[in-house]
Structure 1
Amino acid sequence: MQRVVDFARPGVAFTTVQHAFRRVTHPMQLKRFREYVANNGNRRQKLERVEHFVLDRFRSARNNNLPVHDLDVKRWALSQAKIENIDDFKASDYWLLNFKKRNGISSRKVTKLVSHLEVVDKSIIKQTVDDFVAEATKHIPKYKFDFVLNADQSSFNYEIASNRALSYAGKKATYLSVKSLNAISHSYTVMPIISAAGQLLSPVFICLQEPTSRFQITRAVFSASNIVTSCSTSGKLNKSLAEYWIKEVLDKVVSNRFLLVVDQWSLQADITVYENNLTKGQSCKLLVIPRRATSTKQPCDPYFCRQWKVLTKGIYHRVSLDELDVDLRSRDAIIKLQIWFIIN
């Protein structure tokens, strides 16, 4: 439209304009075009600019993980429509519905909360991840795959309950029976070591939760050659247990030089802890995965522990649904369950 108006300057015959622009068929069109250009476009063009503006604002907000609601979209549309001088634009529910359909937008449940700092530092995080990948690519070829290792702590609740279940449509509340509300909020830790050769190394370390940080003397602890068991008040590793893991597990599975990939937990990211507790003079090269990158760059996370937890949850579900006489919260049941996964 702007090109037609620029071309049809005073003194240019209408037939010349028609020859250059075949869709211009009547002199009245030139008049309307000049009015549209003077008003910065026709109504359709102005509405397109409103939509582009709103879509840009929406994309910017979601790229920064900010919440956007229907009222925000309408507010953005009305403010831009005022700038475009579209006086009768109301940002109605019908317009909003069509806008969301055209751009593939719908209301979604929030599945994860992230800190503002994490959003702001995306570019920094990406750079540190790229640097880590480059360093790992440089060092891994120097070792046999059997001695390129990854160790990670994985937490398991004492009782695992499903967060979804089939029920009757239209019910306002869906209840789920558990043996102990306390058990679904308390956990123990399993710390496997896997190699780049695709092997789960034995033994596997299990840290159970005991109120006194000691196993009760009156109860024997089930043991097997492929596990090492200890405990703490929280069910998580502390400094002494990290050192115990190195002496009783890592020291037994490595006999020479090896490369170990770990996350940024301070107790396992300190090379001196390994140097002080390995007893065979092993040479340890430590690679520490940057923060916010373990979900994709730590092999244990996406390729091992996640599947391990899915299978564990399935067993808890089957025992609960079939009302089997098995208490999976007990110490021996937990150890035997983890042993079953190790040998299978």
Structure 2
Amino acid sequence: MINPHRVAELLSNLVSERLSLHDHDTADSTRDEEVAKHLYDHVESILESTHYSFETEHTIDFNDNSNTKQFEVEKINNDDEQFEEASMKVDEDQQHNLFHQFSIPYMKKAVDFYDAVNAKTGKKQHSWKSFQHRFQMVKNRKYIERFHKYLESGGTKQQKLDEIDQYTYEKFVKTRAEFLFVHDIHLKRWALQKAREINDNTFKASNNWVLQFKRRHALCSRKVTKLITQREVLDADTIDNSANNFISKIKNLLPHYRQSNVLNTDQSGLEIEMVGNRTLSFKGEKATFGKVRSVYNTSHSYTVQLIISLMGQPIGTCYLCLKEKNDYMSDNIKKNLFQASNVTVTCSKSGKLSSSLVEYGIQNVLEPTVGNEKVLLLLDSWGGQTDEQLYSKMKHLRLEIIPKKTTAMI
């Protein structure tokens, strides 16, 4: 355990024994207080630590307006001459690996500080000790030489590759934000453009580089599931505002309704036979075929519509619209059709809901479920279901239409 009072006493004895009082100014000064404060801080830090060590190369520097600065400037050249050449002997492999830790901005900042010249004296403004105090990662003057070399050439090879990678990725993100198509050739073009800009004539944008680039950024080839026009891209802000305004409006209405009475319903078109549109096959074949039981059954076959509450629970029966070529179900079909208590069945020639079938669903599914309850119903903007007259019998129902093209955002 360290006794701070004993340390202070020993320090006082050392000062008395080794330093002559006549060689120093006896008047009080703020620098005396500053030095004492720094020494106290070090002692306090040692007392609070569980482990400590001393490094003899470390010094305490002070910035003030005294003559110390002028003396330091005059001593810079002497300090440089006394630099030990032995300290420059660093393992080249180790030094090469260390340079990967330095960014180009860091190198530039270090070089500018090292090369700074005092305008009055024409000599270097900072000593090597001052430089190391500020840039502690730079252990050797050979680093400065390397920094100059790398900055002149635009950086190390790895740094150039990183710049190319970052530029290419930023171009990709910007292009996809505009919903434009991107292929491997575009990645190569952007990468080569940046390589020429930073004077890297060795970069080739090979297929392997493209593969590794896509792996690094989790990119892959995807099927485009929806095509949009430039007008829709330009209207993106308007769509976002519409979605945000609608959400704010609904949030203000929610406290006036029970969660079980906040409802949403939508239609889902399904196929009797569902198949994918991709398959592995042979390169170069002129046509790729896929076998199904019925091509007719791979198009829209039937429609399902459910009512879901804000609690995530289905409300009422499932509304099912089957596909019948005669636009009605014969007595034989009705006779053999499975009857389920939680399903309301109808049909159409296309298997899709028409305005009249929407009205039938409201009368046979929604009205019996809602009754006289106070209900908030949210619907998308499909014209076949937005006519408020269809819901006139439900006196306590409030209808809110989700703005166009915002359904996926709500």
Q: Could you state the TM-score of these two structures normalised by the residue count of structure 2?
A: 0.59
* CA apart distance, 1:30: 4.9
Distance in 1, matches of 2:125 and 2:195, equals 34
> Which segment is superposed worse, 6-15 or 74-83?
6-15
Residue in 1 aligned with 2:221?
108
SS at match of 2:303: strand
Distance in 2, matches of 1:135 and 1:180, equals 47
Residue in 1 aligned with 2:180?
66
Distance in 2, matches of 1:177 and 1:75, equals 40
Distance in 1, matches of 2:252 and 2:226, equals 35
Distance in 2, matches of 1:148 and 1:227, equals 21
Distance in 2, matches of 1:198 and 1:76, equals 47
* CA apart distance, 1:186: 3.7
Alignment of 1:327-338 (within 5 A): none
Alignment of 1:147-186 (within 5 A): 147-157=261-271, 159-161=272-274, 163=276, 178-186=292-300
Q: Deviations over 1:44-73 (max 9, x none)?
A: 544433332212112212333333322222
* CA apart distance, 1:40: 5.0
* CA apart distance, 1:240: 1.6
* Residue 145 to residue 31, structure 1, CA distance change in 2 (3 Å): closer
* Residue 29 to residue 207, structure 1, CA distance change in 2 (3 Å): closer
Distance in 1, matches of 2:342 and 2:147, equals 83
> Which segment is superposed worse, 262-271 or 81-90?
81-90
SS at match of 1:52: helix
Name the aligned partner's letter for residue 6 of structure 1: D
* Residue 40 to residue 245, structure 1, CA distance change in 2 (3 Å): same
Name the aligned partner's letter for residue 110 of structure 1: K
Residue in 2 aligned with 1:262?
379
* Residue 31 to residue 262, structure 1, CA distance change in 2 (3 Å): same
| Residue 350 of structure 2 corresponds to residue 234 of structure 1 | yes
CA contact (8 A) 1:18 1:24 kept: no
SS at match of 1:220: helix
Residue in 1 aligned with 2:116?
9
Distance in 1, matches of 2:108 and 2:362, equals 75
Residue in 2 aligned with 1:209?
323
CA contact (8 A) 1:254 1:282 kept: no
Figure out how many residues of one structure are paired with residues of the other and give that number: 287
| Residue 231 of structure 2 corresponds to residue 124 of structure 1 | no
Pick from 301, 307, 310 the counterpart of residue 196 of structure 1. 310
* Residue 17 to residue 114, structure 1, CA distance change in 2 (3 Å): farther
SS at match of 2:295: coil
| Residue 396 of structure 2 corresponds to residue 283 of structure 1 | yes
Q: Deviations over 1:138-173 (max 9, x none)?
A: 22221233432222212222x2335499x9xx8759
SS at match of 2:358: helix
Distance in 2, matches of 1:192 and 1:40, equals 62
* CA apart distance, 1:78: 1.6
Name the aligned partner's letter for residue 141 of structure 1: P
- Highest CA radius of gyration, 1 or 2? 2
Q: Deviations over 1:229-286 (max 9, x none)?
A: 32222111112222222222222222223211111111212323322xx2xx522201
SS at match of 1:267: helix
Distance in 2, matches of 1:32 and 1:203, equals 76
Distance in 1, matches of 2:110 and 2:313, equals 71
Residue in 1 aligned with 2:26?
none
Structure 1 unaligned runs (5+)? 298-344
Pick from 266, 272, 287 the counterpart of residue 389 of structure 2. 272
Q: Could you state the TM-score of these two structures normalised by the residue count of structure 1?
A: 0.69
Distance in 2, matches of 1:220 and 1:29, equals 88
Q: Could you say what the CA RMSD is over the residues aligned between the two structures, in angstroms?
A: 3.6
* Residue 220 to residue 2, structure 1, CA distance change in 2 (3 Å): closer
Distance in 1, matches of 2:130 and 2:289, equals 75
Residue in 2 aligned with 1:139?
253
| Residue 170 of structure 2 corresponds to residue 56 of structure 1 | yes
SS at match of 1:192: strand
Distance in 2, matches of 1:105 and 1:146, equals 41
SS at match of 2:179: coil
Pick from 112, 136, 140 the counterpart of residue 25 of structure 1. 140
* Residue 235 to residue 15, structure 1, CA distance change in 2 (3 Å): closer
SS at match of 1:137: helix
Name the aligned partner's letter for residue 169 of structure 2: L
SS at match of 2:127: helix
* CA apart distance, 1:37: 4.3
Distance in 2, matches of 1:33 and 1:229, equals 78
* CA apart distance, 1:187: 1.1
Distance in 1, matches of 2:161 and 2:313, equals 60
